[in-house]
Amino acid sequence: MRKKVIFKGIALPWLLLLPQLLITGVFFFWPAGQAIYGSFLREDAFGLSRQFVGLENFTEVLADPNYLASGWTTVIFSTSVAFLALAAALYLAVQADKAIRGANAYKTMLIWPYAVAPAIAAVLWLFMFHPQIGLFGRMLNGLGVPWDYKLNGDQALLLVILAAAWKQVSYNFIFFMAGLQSIPKSVLEAAAIDGARPMRRFWTIIFPLLAPTSFFLLVVNIVYAFFDTFGTIHALTGGGPGQATTTLIYKVYVDGVQNLNFGSSAAQSVILMVIVILLTAVQFRFIERKVHY
Amino acid sequence: MFRRTLMAGAVALAGLIGPVAQGQAQAQDRTEIQFWHGLSQPLGGLLERLVAGFNDSQTQYRIVPTFRGSYPETMVAAIAAFRAGQAPHLVQMFEVGTGTMINAGRAIIPTHELLSQTGVNINFDDFLPGVRGYYAAADGRQMAMPFNSSTAIVYYNKDAFRRANLNADQFPTTWEGVGQALQALKASGHACPMSTAWPTWLHLEQFSAIHNIPLATQGNGFGGANAELRVNNPLVLRHLTNLVNWQKEGLFRWGGRDNAGEALFPNGECAIMLTSSGFRARVQREARFDWGVAMLPTYEGTQPANAIIGGASLWVMNRGPNTQRSAAELRGIAEFFAYTARPEVAGKWHMDTGYLPITRSGFESARATGFYNQPANIGADVPIEQMLRGASSENTRGIRLGGFVEIRVIMQEEMERALQGQQTPEQALTNMTTRGNAVLRNFERANRGG
């Protein structure tokens, strides 16, 4: 039983669609088409000479051990960021949802970091964990932990994961809060009367009912970790030391903007595009089945 | 790729605003010349003062300086603007971009062509050879106008030297001597005996020049785009091995890429700092201890040759792939170049900023004011002497490699991996060579069409 609204002419629906189509065309299809076209070319920085090289950019990128290593870094980075950001946000949302004094103040504080620009967030973390001038960096060194993310690749990766996850917690928090508020209180109360403890109530009632929200957030967080963490990495480590924090998106930037290697950068963008399309398709196909709306 | 399109869009937007600004300029009947630079404050302000001096000295041209971010950002912005047909007349390009610019074909107007077309005369014999040569073609014709040049020197904490019972008035001239000094400094309780900024510029590029060994074939790339890296040699290996060992023993600390390490010197944390001569002003302002400067050390048994420069030069660009500059614009640029080479202008720029005096007459003009005899400026001529010492050869002219921005990052990454203990110094040098050569071959191929 679906109500259908039918427009009389063809002009009005097109007119209403037009702004969205224009924006998608100009800001998505045009650049994406350019990227695909550019990935078959090899040209100098100034665009004075170009050469069609077929799939050579792709074969070269895929044969590069540094590219494969950065793919592996991306896997670790993205899963850690998504997991940490989701887990922390869920925990905080459940806590803030309880009847506590000053809940609104907590909520505001927790949403705050979302308004911080990625580069500024990175600088905040830099000031905390810089081995020489950072508060925690100095403390760690003082306690005998050899903390130096500028030279230790694992520590550098840990730092960018924490900074990137922290940035995303607020966003997840808002959605989890909204999800929690839509869970009927009567169900929880009934369970409580039946003698279910808080932990049991969480895992058997709240968590399953939050599944649609969690699934949506999982997709969003993976996409965030893949594409939007560029500013954080750039400001914190610049992809180093070695290439310990160079993720795929960061490598696209380095090769395209810094090294002016457009063909290779375009090929990497296309590969990245394919990965994210696949990832999202897989998520919708397999995980969505287990989600009950 | 997405970014590039966005950038092109931004430039196109800027193009819409541009004509308005031009309209205002025509009302005042001066030829306007856009000048993009990459100097943040306070240096950017000094540059703008120099430009204002030129604008006030005549009535036909007006140079409009615009700060475009760091050197690499300025380079990328200028290239993107050229592709969109909106390039500035003049762009300040750091020395690493020289190889890319020289091969830029009709995107640039070489300085020698500019001068012969406009009939403006600049005496390039007056320029320091190490400065002029860095920006000249293999046949000696000037490609870019030298502007702000620096070189690398040693800063050391004299108080720390005295505490370690070292001669505070004489910094060791050899790396062997430095090694002993590091031990003494550590024994006296100094937690960080030595650190460095610009790791690859100091420990590979300058190191190769002053030891008179090639960094790459074809005279460090001056001879042609088919150069190959030669960093994998016994002397560089010895030095990198020393750095790795010193770091393990707590004698050397990695301060980070680019100039991140510099902060460790003025606060007294590290006793020795190797970095740009342009660091002087900051040390003067911030250091609360007795300090000195010295020339870069060499290994025993080698004859020190002259150091090379860093910093930036000025390049003339065409507006876009299919548009030329007018005669009036070219004339204005040439007049501006001649202005910057005047002894009093060059001398003042050197004294205000701490950059090298790039002309002999500028050096003389600074000396005539008694600048080097003032107590605050003792040692300010060390960088100049270091530029002029020893015999110059094709190893000490500079470095002219395409894609050098990328190669420098590769070298830093491999150094970091060696210092982390992930690979031996030998492997680091092998990887640098393999990865760097791949960049060189790509550049050669992409620029063959010209």
**Over chain B, what is the mean pLDDT?**
89
Sequential DSSP letters for B82-93: HHTT---SEEEE
Q: What is the mean pLDDT of residues A121-139?
A: 88
- Spell out the alpha helix ranges (H) of chain A: 11-24, 30-38, 56-63, 65-97, 103-111, 118-129, 135-142, 153-181, 185-193, 198-201, 207-209, 211-223, 230-236, 248-253, 262-282
**Closest residue in chain A to residue B449, using alpha carbons only:** A49
Contact B449 A38 (CB under 8 A): no
The pLDDT value recorded for residue A51 is 86
Asked if B192 and B271 touch (Cβ cutoff 8 Å), the reply is: yes
* AA identity, residue A286: F
From the list B263, B403, B416, which residue is nearest A259 (CB)? B403
Contact B254 A31 (CB under 8 A): no
* Total-model pTM: 0.84
Reported confidence tier of residue B37, pLDDT bands at 50, 70, 90? very high
Q: What is the rounded CA–CA span in Å between residue A118 and residue A232?
A: 5
Q: What is the rounded CA–CA span in Å between residue B98 and residue B397?
A: 13
Please, what are the domains in chain A? Answer: 1-38 (no CATH), 55-290 (1.10.3720.10)
pLDDT tens, residue by residue, B166-223: 999 999 999 999 999 999 999 999 999 999 999 999 999 999 999 999 999 999 998 8
pLDDT tens, residue by residue, A10-60: 888 899 999 999 999 999 899 999 999 999 998 888 888 888 999 999 999
- Measured in angstroms, the CA of B356 and the nearest CA of chain A are apart by 28
Percent of chain B whose predicted confidence (pLDDT) is above 70: 93
Reported confidence tier of residue A292, pLDDT bands at 50, 70, 90? low
The pLDDT value recorded for residue B329 is 93
Tokens read off for B409: 């990052």
Q: For residue B57, report the phi and psi dihedrals to the nearest 5 degrees.
A: -80, -10
CB neighbour list of residue B391: distance below 8 Å, 6 or more residues apart: B212, B303, B305, B306
Residue B419 CB coordination number (10 Å): 25
Q: What is the rounded CA–CA span in Å between residue B237 and residue B85?
A: 46
Reported confidence tier of residue B25, pLDDT bands at 50, 70, 90? very low
Q: Which residue has the higher pLDDT, B117 or B449?
A: B117
Asked if B75 and B104 touch (Cβ cutoff 8 Å), the reply is: no
Contact A44 B449 (CB under 8 A): yes
- Measured in angstroms, the CA of B306 and the nearest CA of chain A are apart by 30
Q: What is the mean pLDDT of residues B399-419?
A: 92
A211 pLDDT more than 90: no
Reported confidence tier of residue B294, pLDDT bands at 50, 70, 90? very high
**Closest residue in chain B to residue A66, using alpha carbons only:** B435
Q: What is the rounded CA–CA span in Å between residue B178 and residue B175?
A: 5
Tokens read off for B148: 């702000």
Contact A242 B416 (CB under 8 A): yes
Q: Which residue has the higher pLDDT, B17 or A280?
A: A280
Reported confidence tier of residue B28, pLDDT bands at 50, 70, 90? low
Q: Which bin fits A253, alpha (ψ -120 to 50), beta or left (φ > 0)?
A: alpha
Sequential DSSP letters for B181-245: HHHHHHHTT-SEEEEESSHHIIIIIIHHHHTT--SBHHHHTTT-TT--B---SHHHHHHHHHHHH
Residue B271 exposed, middle or buried by CB count within 10 Å (0-12, 13-18, 19+):
buried
B232 pLDDT more than 90: yes
Reported confidence tier of residue A258, pLDDT bands at 50, 70, 90? confident
Please, what are the domains in chain B? Answer: 2-150+310-369 (3.40.190.10), 152-307+382-446 (3.40.190.10)
Reported confidence tier of residue A215, pLDDT bands at 50, 70, 90? confident
B144 pLDDT more than 60: yes
How many degrees, rounded to 5, is the angle at CA B42 between CA B38 and CA B47?
55
Q: What is the rounded CA–CA span in Å between residue B279 and residue B380?
A: 11
**Over chain A, what is the mean pLDDT?**
88
Q: Which residue has the higher pLDDT, A62 or B260?
A: A62
pLDDT tens, residue by residue, B324-360: 899 999 999 999 999 999 998 998 898 888 889 888 8
Reported confidence tier of residue B414, pLDDT bands at 50, 70, 90? very high
